[in-house]
Amino acid sequence: MHLFNGVISISSVSYLIFSIMAIVALGYLLGRVTVKGISLGTAGVFVISLLYGAFFYDQLANALKTAEIAQQGLKIVENLGLVFFVTSVGFIAGPKFFKNLKQNFKSYILLGVAIILSGGITCVVCYLIGRNFETDHTQFLALIDGLLSGSLTTTPGFSAAKETVKNVYGANANLAAELESAVTVGYGIAYLFGVIGVVLFVQIMPKIVGANMDEERKKLLSVNTGSAAKALGNLIDIDDMGLGAFGLAALIGIIIGNIKIPLSAKGLSGTCFSLTTTGGCLITALVFGHFSRIGKVNIMPPKKTLECLRELGLMIFLIGAGVAGGANFAKYFKPIYFLYGALMTIVPMIVGFIIATKILKLSLLNSLGSITGGMTSTPALGTLIHVAKTEDVASAYAATYPIALLAVVLVSQFMIVIFG
């Protein structure tokens, strides 16, 4: 980018950094706009990122020399943000997480499975109806499976769908490649509403039910009665900001998250399940936050550090995911596909909310926290923390997230295997 006859020239990595800062500034301005008490908050960054990806992705690719470099750069941004966010959430939730999990273990399992299963059933219904209007049923099946992953904003489900397509149709390399592309297209189309829909849901539902948020926070605290702050005594800090302990938890989490568990007879060369970086960092940080110390060494970063890294991580993640998603969304968008994806987001949330509040009798904030985990929605958790004005909702998210993660991987594979 050249301004004032070349006096200011921004190119290569500088252009990427310039773009990120512009998205941040405009995104937070948009997030401040409030209509009847509803705002996008940090998700405003995601909307601006999508628009940037739709209209300026080619310029970014040119500035970075190739589209492949641009994709890799955005993936680094996205994953770095994800690590910052989920590790912070794990540390914050850790002191109260295990007591909450013990009290509501069966409820969290039921919710995680029910939310993903209802999304899978909706996906099947959309496929059975939609294939009557499609000429290539196989390609449509791959696309609809991608829509399911995008509607639940789940990268593991997306990866599992692509891997299953490759395994089932691998005998025809060209067909397998086309179907993998169809999965990617579906994921990109549904991802937009998959993020925005859940973000709006956690803000709208308290208003619909007329919730008294002060009372709801008290109900949540009555469940999360673990020791929020242990008397640690005179411990050795790795550093004043707690970044050393944070980095150690993230490092271990990345290793754990990338351990592969085979799900087929092909072993590690076939379809595998892993917690992913998200799940690994989340679980490790929960353990670090729960114990808070290793011998005389303090492994619990200060709250201010965690709050800062949580917001920074969410912002960076939304930029990386939004710019890449915007490029695919603009290229392949069809209204009917968007509708299918929206239904796969809306139905599981409603089903999950009814089960949580009416059957399991969970409090409102515990229910919404569980739904963000069941929907594997990192951005919605960030919004819910702001709405609830307490980080304790993260415990419910952390409890349902791993269950939903495994369920969506299995559902994504079964769609291809059963109907393929």
| 140-150 pLDDT tens trace | 999 999 899 88
pLDDT at 113: 92
31-35, 231-235, 277-281, 372-376: which is most confident: 372-376
With a CB cutoff of 8 Å and minimum separation 6, the contacts of 286 are 90, 91, 93, 94, 97, 98, 398
- Average pLDDT of the chain? 84
Q: Which residue, chain included where needed, has tokens 């495994």? A: 406
pLDDT at 3: 52
The answer to whether 360 and 333 have CB atoms below 8 angstroms apart is no
Residue 225 has pLDDT above 80, yes or no: no
In 186-237, which ranges are E strands? 236-237
323: nearest Cα among 192, 197, 198 = 192
The answer to whether 272 and 208 have CB atoms below 8 angstroms apart is no
| Across 272-297, average pLDDT | 83
189: nearest Cα among 128, 145, 156 = 145
CA-CA distance, 375 to 58, in Å (whole number)?
A: 31
**Which of the two residues, 159 and 50, has the higher pLDDT score?**
50
Rg of the chain (C-alpha set):
21
Q: What percent of the chain has pLDDT over 70?
A: 90
φ, ψ of residue 149 to 5 degrees: the values are -65, -40
pLDDT at 310: 86
With a CB cutoff of 8 Å and minimum separation 6, the contacts of 128 are none
pLDDT at 231: 52
The dihedral region occupied by 37, where left means phi > 0, alpha psi between -120 and 50, and beta the remainder, is left
In 215-328, which ranges are E strands? 236-237, 261-262, 272-273, 293-294, 297-298
Order across the sheet with 297-298: list the strands: 236-237, 297-298, 293-294
| Across 94-114, average pLDDT | 83
Residue 154 has pLDDT above 60, yes or no: yes
CA-CA distance, 52 to 19, in Å (whole number)?
A: 9
pLDDT at 306: 92
The answer to whether 390 and 257 have CB atoms below 8 angstroms apart is no
The answer to whether 152 and 375 have CB atoms below 8 angstroms apart is yes
Residue 59's alpha-carbon distances to 19, 71, 289, 321, in angstroms, are: 11, 13, 43, 17
Is 381 exposed, middle or buried (CB count within 10 Å of its CB: 0-12, 13-18, 19+)? buried
| Across 197-219, average pLDDT | 89
| Across 262-267, average pLDDT | 71
| Across 229-244, average pLDDT | 77
CA-CA distance, 389 to 219, in Å (whole number)?
A: 14
Residue 39 has pLDDT above 90, yes or no: no
The model's pLDDT over 287-311, given as tens digits with 9 standing for 90+, comes to 998 898 888 899 999 989 998 998 8
φ, ψ of residue 235 to 5 degrees: the values are -105, 160
- Confidence category of residue 1, pLDDT binned at 50, 70, 90: low
Tokens of residue 305, six digits: 């550090």
Residue type, 115: I
Tokens of residue 78, six digits: 């996205």
pLDDT at 156: 65
Pick from 1-10, 53-62, 304-313: least confident: 1-10
The model's pLDDT over 331-377, given as tens digits with 9 standing for 90+, comes to 667 899 999 999 999 999 999 999 999 999 999 999 999 999 999 88
The 8-class DSSP code of residue 234 comes to S
With a CB cutoff of 8 Å and minimum separation 6, the contacts of 358 are none
- Confidence category of residue 5, pLDDT binned at 50, 70, 90: low
| Across 175-187, average pLDDT | 81
CA-CA distance, 122 to 189, in Å (whole number)?
A: 17
Q: What percent of the chain has pLDDT over 90?
A: 28
The kind and range of the H/E element at 3 are strand 2-3
pLDDT at 228: 47
The model's pLDDT over 324-344, given as tens digits with 9 standing for 90+, comes to 777 766 666 789 999 999 999
Name the 3-class secondary structure at 182.
helix
Tokens of residue 200, six digits: 């709006």
Strand partners, 237: 298
Pick from 62-71, 108-117, 224-233, 287-296: least confident: 224-233
Is 9 exposed, middle or buried (CB count within 10 Å of its CB: 0-12, 13-18, 19+)? exposed
**Which of the two residues, 32 and 222, has the higher pLDDT score?**
32
